[in-house]
A = this chain, B = another copy of it.
Amino acid sequence: MRIGFDAMGGDHAPRAVIEGALFGLRQYADLTAVLFGAEDRLLETIRTLSDRERIRSYLDSGRLSIVHATDVILAEEEPVRAVRHKKESSLVKGVAALAAGELDAFVSAGSTGALVASGLFILGRMPGMDRPALAPMLPTLSGRGVLVLDVGANVDAKAQHLVQYALIGHLYARKMMDRAHPRVGLLNIGTEPGKGHLLAKSAYDLIYDLSQRDPSFQFVGNVEARDVMFDQADVVVTDGFTGNIFLKTTEGVALAISGMLKEALMSHVITKAGALLAAPGLKKLKTKLDYKAYGGTPLLGLKRPLIKAHGSSDAQAILAALRQAYGAVEHNLIDVLSEALSSHDIFEKETSQE
């Protein structure tokens, strides 16, 4: 299996990306890793790593290779423009290789917008999906996790996009999350039908219709943001703007609370002692909330597996994203999704109304 990496993408590139790929090579015997980036810089970084003999053998055997890319897309660049103009960037070259069939999957911790744009323009959409969706797994109280989509690929979504997300989320949860009967919910500001803004109301109606026509599709209705972490659904559907606000709020509050917790516990010698004793418990909590364990974010609805890793990914987070890419290829995810989407008569009728 050939998986490509945007070696220049993310806050800790190229080092974290290279290390993550190396972890993967050790873990998966059938993996070939292709690093896209400035060759000199990558080789220079590799020279600073320990275990150079093993790396040498990966390079010699061809399990690790470098595809030279002269350019880099920066986080602050306008995505569509960047993808159109920076053909020699590590991100665009990698996605192009994926589109050409030279790779089975591609992982990037670089610009989310550029990854979405290159997915749309270079890879192309699956039949039946008007827009791809970023679909991360987020932690829940039970530890099972919840798939939330979209969290930012499509910020001006229409109701019809949301019903497509509902269906692909349902299919993904069955195939990749091991949930035989995933409960799909719509993120909304109240649980009763009829709640929300115009978009949410229309989306509710379309998803409800889908559930009436397809008995295997389970719609649990509106889910409030407050209840998502309490395992009220396996899949939560929303537009990219709302989903991104939801995701970032989750991150922000978790970060703020851990800051407040630290301050509160360190304010007195007794509570400090308590914190010391409680440290293993606190660490366990931190692990539970850690995005790294949950892997990267697949961009669902494209013709091949494209995985977005968090911008601040370290090597472990890159490995988790790689694991997800590996799983998608291993489970033949794209074929399964495409087949299910194209056989979905009701759904096709719905989307052809645009």
Residues on A close to B: CB < 8 A? 76, 78, 140-141, 152, 155-156, 187, 189, 192, 194, 196-198, 200, 224-230, 239-242, 244-246, 248-257, 259-261, 264-268, 270-271, 273-282, 284-285, 288-289
Contact = CB atoms under 8 A, between A and B. Distances in A.
A253 B187 CA distance: 15
Nearest to A191: B76
- The copy count of this chain in the complex is 2
A194 B78 contact: yes
Given A141-B259, A189-B244, A242-B245, A278 B252 contact: no
A328 to B, nearest CB: 26
A297 to B, nearest CB: 14
Given A196-B241, A226-B249, A229-B252, 15 more contacts: A152-B189, A155-B189, A197-B239, A200-B241, A225-B252, A242-B245, A253-B253, A261-B281, A261-B282, A266-B281, A270-B280, A271-B282, A273-B277, A274-B275, A274-B281
A266 B280 CA distance: 11
A2 to B, nearest CB: 33
B226 A248 contact: yes
Given A225-B248, A241-B242, A276-B274, A281 B253 contact: no
A301 to B, nearest CB: 19
Contact of A256 (B229, B248, B270): B229
A189 B245 contact: yes
B253 A229 contact: yes
